[in-house]
Structure 1
Amino acid sequence: MPQCHIDMLRVLQVKANIVLPILITNETENKNHTDKDKSEINVWGLLIAHHCRENREWEISETDLLRRLAAQTAIAIQQAQLYQRLEKLNQELEAIAYIDDLTGVFNRRHFEQKFEQEWKRLAREEALISIIMLDIDYFKPYNDTYGHQQGDKCLQQVAKAIQATVKRPGDFVARYGGEEFVVVLPNTPMEGALKVAENIRTEIEALKIPHQASATSQWVTSSLGVADSNCSKTSNPERLLKAADTALYNAKTSGRNRIEIYYVCMETQEKQQQEINLVTQLRDALRENSFCLFSQAIFPLHEGVQARLYEILLRLRYPSGKIVSPAAFLPVAERYHLMPRIDRWVVKNLLYLLSSQKIDNSYQDCIFTVNLSGASINDSNFLEFIEHQFACFEVPPQKICFEITETIAITNLDKAAKFIQSLKQVGCSFALDDFGKGMSSLSYLTNLPVDYLKIDGMLIKKMEKDTVTQGIVEGIHHIGRAMNLKVIAEYIETESILNKVSSLGIDYGQGFYLHKPSPLEFSV
């Protein structure tokens, strides 16, 4: 016994002393698995009994009692240790069930459970809730460039940056997919959610994780979609998730490294749900070829005009057979960035029909005009797509005339001019649509190498009763002639308008009075 303990016993005037070990049995795993797991007996502590009255020998009954007390103490300690181990194992199992093992945030399964619980809680108060959906930009190229191990490290850093930004106790973060995260902000309006989203975006970019394969930045960046909603017993949490996902999709297709929003207010939910349904129908139509092509003749108004033109118009065909006008779906397609895919569908299917000679022979010597969206002009891969389609279907490019509106051209004049010039080098012609609608048309026209001018339909409509408008139309025609361009008057809907347009010497006329759009005719 150490001297300090002996000294302490003297101070306490201890006359008799007995010490019994508290023995704990620990199971040790046999790594070789040749025998059963071994047991090790360790001394956990000591049970010490003192007698201070007299020097004496301990009786057998006393030592037996103390041995039993030491044994019971050992059992109690082992049970406490076992409870602690079980508690730790339960925590680990809970972490496996709830936590994403790579990033340390909630996994998707737990997110869905927790989000549903939070929605029901907030629905009792009809409180606001906002959601942020986040996607790491160009993450697949990042993995391909730097390897999956570095990709995992990137995900971990991004998750930490999000968690560092989302600080309120009620907010929570989850990993929604591979490189996609979701943030739930209870009792938060759109304004507050936008601030959080911007903080997350800047924090991720501030990590300065190199990304040579990104088309957006030299660093890893993120795209975010934000949506909010009033929770109620009649509202649907799935709608909010879809809205946030739609906003994220818009952010990614608008250039990435940005935030897009989608309001899910009670007053506009029905309209927005209709839009979401229409977007789904448009995507299905692209996948299942549910669009159809119509054509409208553009008639020469004078004998000296030889080329025969037809404008290709797009329609949506429902399974019921109902034909839907583009006015009903193109604005939605533009908002949800579907126009590049729709433009490609039109070009590919038109060239297929021309190459397979499945259209009526009356179309064989015509030039077909095809409208292009601003999104396609900004698509760096669109020119390559056009050239590939011409080569694939072996259709002469001279049979196709592409149209863009004056508004699109003016928005990015240099890019529009280069785009037009590139297609003309391929062999296509070009038309400037809605000419006269903009305020600076004449000054911009000299920079665009187009072949046709299509005068804005509103000017044609007004010229019947307005001499000033008629003078403007006449002036446009003279400018077009001076620049050796063919001029087309749109929206000719009455005989009177046709006569006025013809009297001005305009080359072509287009409108319901001359020819109503009809399906692109197939030969039997």
Structure 2
Amino acid sequence: MSLFQRLCKHFFKNKTKTIYIIDILYMKDINALYGFKNGDYILSQLLALLKNKIKKDLLKYLETKVCIDIKNTHVDVFTLTIFKELDEMDILEVKNIIFHNIITAQYKLLHSDIQIDLDVTIGCSKGLDKDLQIYAEKALHNAKMNYIHFMYYDSKLYRNHFENAELLTTLQNNIKEKKVEPFFQPIMDNKTSEIVKYEALMRLYDQKGNVLLPQVFLSKARKYRLFNKLMEILIIKVINYIKEYKIHVNINLDYNDILNPAMKNLIINNIKDNDVGSYLTIEILESSKISNFYLVNDFINDLKAFDVKIAIDDFGSGFSNYEHILNINTDYIKLDGSLIKKIDEDIYYNLVKSITLFCKEQNIKIVAEFVGDLKTLRYVKSLNIHYSQGYYIGKPVEINEILKRENNEN
């Protein structure tokens, strides 16, 4: 251990740190197919990747001299500890850097030209030393149980067996005090490089005023039957911001929201009363789950009567088929980040190109999500995709930050 690392451990002994536990999926199958020597060789390659390329990318992203400790803690499990309390956006971006590097790398086998790939699940937590490992492991376990590649637990929120009661109280307080707040992520016109609209993303606050990650509360809010209440507050706030500041905003709704008559009436009545339809775009989430296109299009047509635009979100996730474009009266397609993050690979570049050409023939505009760096943006622009969204364009921020930027530009 270097002197710098020892100093980090000493000075951060009683301070909040962020930990990621990275678990290789199906390692037993790799050992069975290729032998334990190859298994060990693959583990050594992953450890080298974490300590070199990934660590370098993380230090570049964090833009500060921060201590990062990486260990192979148990056979096919690795821990990456960042001696810093990361905010919600940085937690997700660090995860993206780790995950993208691991799954896009090719791993060599001994005495063979064959290379294989790996898949991983990541659990994350931030807190003090006594909390870190416990809650990161809980997050990892629940991610694996739900067949998703990442889950985050805030040890401040999940610190004892009353965690569900505490989260329930937090949700109820946000509803009672109307603390639910939209954070706005900018969407840029690729021709003019101007920010032309924003996606509104739901954020809640704990009792100390800390912003909660959506991974912490979204699924629980639905389970506790409180999600609609949260959405009502969010929608009304967004519409009020649109009315006051004349900004163009996207709001996300999934299939269940669309089928909910109360949600539909809330949106339409507020649009009608405030005359903001031309400023609003509704993003339809998880379009692949839609089973009744007639009901969805009835909802869309009612909105379009007030000049509301429609977008299909996450198109291309799981290689969604074109039927959803043809069956939904949409104005925009938002290309899924899983395609955009790999756009520098020929197969993904050609797939995005194919979707783009098809959409243009249908007079549908395209938004590229997860544009995280200049290189990705250049690929997106080379295909004449209309809009870009992602951390390179801008992170989600409160309305006050948006107003400050616009005032500075003017």
TM exceeds 0.5? yes
TM-score tier by shorter-chain length is 0.5 to 0.7
Structure 2 residue 260 is the aligned partner of structure 1 residue 372: no
Structure 1, gaps ≥5 residues long: 1-268
Structure 2 residue 178 is the aligned partner of structure 1 residue 289: yes
What letter matches 2:253 in structure 1? L
Task: String of CA shifts for 1:235-292, please: whole Å, max 9, x gaps.
Answer: xxxxxxxxxxxxxxxxxxxxxxxxxxxxxxxxxx988742343133112211211222
TM-score (normalizing by structure 1): 0.44
TM-score (normalizing by structure 2): 0.55
2:205 is aligned to 317
What letter matches 1:284 in structure 2? N
2:390 is aligned to 511
Could you say which structure has the greater relative contact order, defined with CA pairs below 8 angstroms and 6 or more residues apart? 2
1:391 is aligned to 272
CA shift for structure 1 position 439: 4.8
Structure 2 residue 313 is the aligned partner of structure 1 residue 433: yes
Assess, with a 3 A threshold, how the Cα gap between structure 1 residues 479 and 395 changes in structure 2: closer, same or farther.
Answer: same
CA shift for structure 1 position 314: 1.5
1:492 partner SS: coil
In the TM superposition, what are the counterparts of 1:300-449 in structure 2 within 5 Å? 300-303=189-192, 308-355=196-243, 357=244, 359=245, 364=246, 366-392=247-273, 394-407=274-287, 410-449=290-329
Assess, with a 3 A threshold, how the Cα gap between structure 1 residues 411 and 306 changes in structure 2: closer, same or farther.
Answer: farther
Is residue 290–residue 318 contact of structure 1 (8 Å, CA) maintained in 2?
no
Assess, with a 3 A threshold, how the Cα gap between structure 1 residues 476 and 271 changes in structure 2: closer, same or farther.
Answer: farther
CA shift for structure 1 position 409: 5.3
Following TM superposition, the consecutive aligned residue runs of length 4 or more in structure 1 with deviations greater than 6 angstroms are 269-272
CA shift for structure 1 position 502: 0.7
CA shift for structure 1 position 375: 2.7
2:362 is aligned to 483
2:341 partner SS: helix
1:505 partner SS: coil
Structure 2 residue 336 is the aligned partner of structure 1 residue 456: yes
1:278 is aligned to 167
Cα distance in 2 between the residues matched to 1:318 and 1:436: 35
2:334 partner SS: strand
Assess, with a 3 A threshold, how the Cα gap between structure 1 residues 405 and 422 changes in structure 2: closer, same or farther.
Answer: same
1:512 partner SS: coil
2:346 is aligned to 467
Is residue 406–residue 437 contact of structure 1 (8 Å, CA) maintained in 2?
no
2:199 partner SS: strand
1:494 is aligned to 373
Cα distance in 1 between the residues matched to 2:382 and 2:164: 45
Tell me the percent identity.
27
Is residue 189–residue 386 contact of structure 2 (8 Å, CA) maintained in 1?
yes
Cα distance in 1 between the residues matched to 2:307 and 2:347: 38
1:381 partner SS: helix
Cα distance in 2 between the residues matched to 1:307 and 1:509: 9
CA shift for structure 1 position 322: 1.1
Is residue 296–residue 518 contact of structure 1 (8 Å, CA) maintained in 2?
yes
1:164 is aligned to none
Structure 2, gaps ≥5 residues long: 1-157, 405-410
Cα distance in 2 between the residues matched to 1:288 and 1:520: 18
Cα distance in 1 between the residues matched to 2:318 and 2:224: 25
CA shift for structure 1 position 438: 4.4
CA shift for structure 1 position 351: 1.5
Cα distance in 1 between the residues matched to 2:160 and 2:334: 34
Task: String of CA shifts for 1:330-358, please: whole Å, max 9, x gaps.
Answer: 12223333332222211111122333x2x
2:184 partner SS: strand
What letter matches 1:455 in structure 2? L
Aligned CA RMSD, in angstroms, stands at 2.5
Larger Cα Rg: Structure 1 or Structure 2? 1
Aligned residues: 246
Cα distance in 2 between the residues matched to 1:439 and 1:516: 26
